[in-house]
Amino acid sequence: MNQFLLGDHPTPAFWKFEGAEQLRAHINKTFDRFLMPAAKTTTQCNYHQLIAALRSEQLSGLRYAKEKGGTGAGLAAQAMFAESLGRIPSGGIGMALTIHLDMVAPFIDQYGAPEQIERFLMPALRGEILLSHAVSEPGAGSDVTNLATTATRDGSGWRICGHKTMISLASLADVHFVIARLADYRAPFNMVNFLIPKDTPGLRLGNVWPALGNAQCPVSDIFFDDLWIGDDCRLGMPGMGMINQLQQFAQERILSSLRANQVAYQCLARAAQWTYTADQQLQTLIAEWQASRALTYKAMQHWLANGEYLSLSSSSKLISSRLARSASLFALDLARQHSKGDVNSLQTCVADARLFSISTGSDEMMLKSIAATEKY
């Protein structure tokens, strides 16, 4: 069945490095050992322990240099990790590890001062601290340029006032990555980023929101009540917060797409057992999966080659997220028709797959971004 689904789609050049196949086998074996059991329980998984376990297998921090606490395996290896996360039947675990390892950690790696690498990145990769990514606000979800949280210089630090909403892992994280607006600066150079420890006076958490999907990745609000934070917790140049964030979003979309394509593949492999090979909808979805995978690999290739990938990344996110939704729904429909025992797990998969479009880009925003980059 896998053979049939895979067809003769070639392995992309970036996964032809020495030891690539052994690395994939090691990732899958480690995920089966540590992530699969966590995905199958209803109790909240312990991310500190999970990341420490990944670390003990040299899989936490593949993309980061050894001197920064990573394994030095590189970005192509991290892409393999991201794709394999799609095998785990819990979108919440995939999302949590992506936020920690591929959304906040890259920021610290790229813009962190040496003391910040030591204080935040290295312990994060060891699983000693968990990171959340706090951008969205009640009045600024898709439109991140409209953020109202403010940062004002105050002595040797900054005073922060505002409210972040729907922040994944906020209730579990030790340190929150936060983006805030600077008064008297001109857009788009009017934002600044911080790493704010959870016990900073003035930081308050809202209740955990009820959620239909990503059960292992709880979401809550964070309030900053005139919070004061030292300048040692500012990440990157004042004014560059939004520019740096947009670049990071474009990169994360590619990794998220690798995971979404793999989720779609897992669903199609199951669905194919319950219908005819010539089923038109199955064949259409397989063709879409092959196209989506090729597009994501192209985006990844451009990123690895330091080429232009903005439009490719948005297209890839749009198509792979839609595909994960339609493939999971198709598999669920077939499981119901044939009274298969997989109905519950596929219901979870459908609920989780909806959320691919939420993190770092809804379908509409991806279309808008493609139109802007391609000058339509």
Q: Round to whole Å and give the CA distance between 374 and 363.
A: 16
CB distance 301 to 12 below 8 Å: yes
By CB under 6 A, what part of segment 154-213 binds ligand FAD?
166-168, 211
- 190 vs 214, beta carbon nearer ligand FAD: 214
- 77 vs 254, beta carbon nearer ligand FAD: 254
For 247-292, give the DSSP string. HHHHHHHHHHHHHHHHHHHHHHHHHGGGS-TT-HHHHHHHHHHHHH
- 50 vs 80, beta carbon nearer ligand FAD: 50
For residue 252, give both structure tokens: 């994360």
- 128 vs 143, beta carbon nearer ligand FAD: 143
- 122 vs 166, beta carbon nearer ligand FAD: 166
Residues 6+ apart with CB under 8 A from 186: none
The least CB distance from residue 180 to ligand FAD, in Å, is 13
The least CB distance from residue 20 to ligand FAD, in Å, is 31
Q: Round to whole Å and give the CA distance between 251 and 254.
A: 6
CB distance 4 to 277 below 8 Å: yes
User: In the chain, helix, strand, coil percent, each to 5?
Assistant: 55, 15, 30
Under the binding rule (CB under 6 A), the answer on residue 90 touching ligand FAD is: no
CB distance 235 to 178 below 8 Å: no
Per-residue interface string for the shown chain with ligand FAD, residues 326-355, x marking contact by CB under 6 A: -----------------------------x
Stretch that binds ligand FAD, among 264-272, 286-294, 326-334, 357-365 (CB under 6 A): 357-365
The least CB distance from residue 156 to ligand FAD, in Å, is 28
CB distance 224 to 202 below 8 Å: yes
The least CB distance from residue 168 to ligand FAD, in Å, is 3
For residue 143, give both structure tokens: 């439109």
Query: Which member of 136, 248, 261, 266 binds ligand FAD (CB under 6 A)?
Result: 136
What residues make contact with ligand FAD under the rule CB under 6 A? Answer: 99, 133-136, 141-142, 166-168, 211, 214, 219, 355, 358-359, 362, 364-365, 368
